Chain A
């Protein structure tokens, strides 16, 4: 199936793409067919700067298990940082 569903979020940070580092202002999260990963469906995240156009994008395609584990690790790292990450 194609889920078509996309969950957008505004973010603050930087990412490194084919042209080097750039500021990212948004992310699109979706569970759908990947472009490259050899999976039927993947949890895809596009980190983008919409003002800079389609090339300003860093993409990842993760298996569902990998994505859930990544979420757990992100939360664990933030929790471990305590006040600094609040």
Chain B
């Protein structure tokens, strides 16, 4: 029998997105038998890039089915991810409404897989961290992870070019336990932004766990950037798999 991390398959697939649009998604499936949980992976502002697909495979290598939808698919299904990201950025990014429609399609695709156990978690990084929170207050998911998502709280600067609003007012609608992983040195979100979200979670009586790493800033998980902080990333990954193991399976996978 192949080792768990070797027994995966990955490919691009088409799924229904917002408004019935066909969007592409990167799908990585665990080769393990038996009912398995799913994970929706949300890419960051730079797009549907190789590092995010690597993250998607990491979940499959650890016993999950994972799907990362191309949020910039409307720029062309075969457009290079960096070109699509630049075009989407120039248009102010994607709307929350469109994102939620795409995320819903991905969640349904995960639950429709033949070996699904019916449970789905969501994780996102950077702008995807905010969208992970948005997913968790909008759609039926069972666990969520927000990795340094900005503008969940705080104030949107005047003249800000992206189509974003803060989400903290929707905290009472949070449908699942939330794990938040942050860097003490981050400016978006700052430790105060994180504290504001924590206050809202406490006030709403939600299940959550936050960790903020000393000596780490934004994007400390990004192995291809100078911001990479191995100790924080290693600890963060352990917490992610423990979180999903607790809430997406009967026992840790």
Contact residues of B: prevailing secondary structure: loop
23 A-B pairs with C-beta separation under 8 A? A1-B186, A1-B188, A1-B218, A2-B126, A4-B127, A4-B150, A4-B161, A4-B162, A8-B90, A28-B86, A32-B45, A35-B46, A35-B49, A35-B82, A36-B82, A38-B224, A40-B219, A40-B226, A54-B75, A54-B83, A54-B84, A57-B86, A59-B86
Partner of B150, one of A2, A5, A46, A50: A2
Give, as a whole number of angstroms, the nearest-CB distance from A54 to chain B.
4
In the bound assembly, the distance between CA atoms of A57 and B75 in angstroms comes to: 13
Interface size on B, residues (CB 8 A): 33
In the complex, A30 has a CB within 8 A of chain B: yes
In the bound assembly, the distance between CA atoms of A6 and B150 in angstroms comes to: 17
Chain B residue contacts of A8, Cβ below 8 A: 90
Chain B residue contacts of A1, Cβ below 8 A: 150, 186-188, 217-218
Give, as a whole number of angstroms, the nearest-CB distance from A63 to chain B.
12
Q: Mark A43-54, 1 if CB is under 8 A from B, else 0.
A: 000101010011
Chain A residue contacts of B127, Cβ below 8 A: 2, 4
Question: Which residue in chain B gives the minimum CB-CB distance to A17?
Answer: B83
Give, as a whole number of angstroms, the nearest-CB distance from B149 to chain A.
10
- Does A6 lie within 8 Å of B219, measured CB to CB? no
Closest 8 CB pairs of A and B: A54-B87, A1-B187, A54-B83, A35-B82, A40-B226, A54-B75, A1-B188, A46-B86
In the bound assembly, the distance between CA atoms of A32 and B162 in angstroms comes to: 14
Chain B residue contacts of A50, Cβ below 8 A: 90
In the complex, B85 has a CB within 8 A of chain A: yes
